[in-house]
Amino acid sequence: MVVDGLASQAILAAMKRVELPCGAKVAALGQGTWNVGDDPARRDEEIAAIRLGIDLGLTLIDTAEMYGDGRSETLVGEAIAGRRDEVFLVTKVYPHHALRRAMQAACNDSLRRLRVEAIDLYLLHWPGDVPLDETVQAFEALQRAGKIRQWGVSNFDSKLIESLHAVPGGNAAQTDQVLYHLAKRGIEWDLLPWCRERRIPIMAYSPFDQGPLLRKKALAEVARRHGVAAATVALAWIMRHKDMIVIPKAAKLDHVRANHAALNLKLTDEDLADLDAAFAPPEGPKSLEMA
């Protein structure tokens, strides 16, 4: 439900959308939930932050069975109760659960914690030892059972996603969720162009490097120029890619508002040049980073 005063803000910053290969159009600016649900004293604030995010149109919510051993999914389930139709729910399965029977059990557990009947997008959290064709078959079985709508991967580099595309049904992956922020730009060299050519949106995680990025001088300078928070600039910089989704985690209401403001910020050529000077783009291939 949109509360008074927020409706107009939400309209002002109309949500930018990104189209997945399946045709679903999802919010480009979503919400991450790693480390939420761990501290009972922060629980109310964390739930309020997710709900404010939904009010503002940050309706893609990312979680994982791994986060807090399910506590994040449980908290997300509580935050979205009664609002299931407003959100696009993403959760992730452990690599050691990426076989048919184990994935079925893991998915049932996630559905129970999230209190929903189906997951919108179910991702393999990182590459593991299970052959990719068996993982694809496990995802397909869950789709047939109506428990997940779409599936994708996370932390796959360009070689691995190419291998995924080589197995039967592997080209149905809807996204690759990877680390991407100003100080970690390696994917611009190969993974991003590879995915872009095939219209597979990247989902960028840890857009603030979990916090330290926001204290960098060059970012603060651009933020000062626009009279916005450093976080707003960091997100606008990622969303300069029209085909990228980004999932900042914010458990404070002010943080959610500052993140939402990125939808209204257009960085100038001068801003982008200054940021490139401080955070150089890659000059060659680099191994995919996860932290």
Ligand X SMILES: NC(=O)c1ccc[n+]([C@@H]2O[C@H](COP(=O)([O-])OP(=O)(O)OC[C@H]3O[C@@H](n4cnc5c(N)ncnc54)[C@H](OP(=O)(O)O)[C@@H]3O)[C@@H](O)[C@H]2O)c1
User: Smallest Cα–Cα separation from 21: which of 181, 236, 210, 173?
Assistant: 173
**72, amino acid identity:** S
Task: Tell me the catalytic residues.
Answer: 67
Are the C-beta atoms of 272 and 240 separated by less than 8 Å? yes
Q: Does 175 bind ligand X (CB under 6 A)?
A: no
Contact (Cβ atoms closer than 8 angstroms) between residue 231 and residue 246 = no
Q: Contact at 8 Å (CB) between 125 and 290?
A: no
Residues 60-89 that bind ligand X (CB under 6 A): 62
Largest CA distance in the chain: 54
50 binds ligand X (CB under 6 A): no
Does residue 207 touch ligand X according to CB under 6 A? yes
Task: Give the H or E element holding residue 19.
Answer: strand 17-19
- Show the site string, 262-291: x = touches ligand X by CB under 6 A, - = not: ------------------------------
60: helix, strand or coil: strand
53 binds ligand X (CB under 6 A): no
Contact between 208 and ligand X by CB under 6 A: the answer reads: yes
Report CA-CA distances (Å) from 248 to 78, 96, 226, 242, 245.
19, 26, 20, 17, 10
Closer of 34 and 237 to ligand X (Cβ): 34
Site membership for ligand X, residue 229 (CB under 6 A): yes
- Among 52, 97, 259, 262, contact with ligand X (rule: CB under 6 A): 259
258 binds ligand X (CB under 6 A): yes
Closest to 20 in 3D by CA, of 263, 259, 203: 203
Using CB under 6 A as the criterion, what x/- string covers residues 21-40 for binding ligand X? -----------xxx------
184 scored as a contact of ligand X (CB under 6 A):
no
Q: Where do contacts with ligand X occur on this chain (CB under 6 A)?
A: 32-34, 62, 125, 154-155, 177, 205-211, 214, 229, 231, 247-252, 255, 258-259
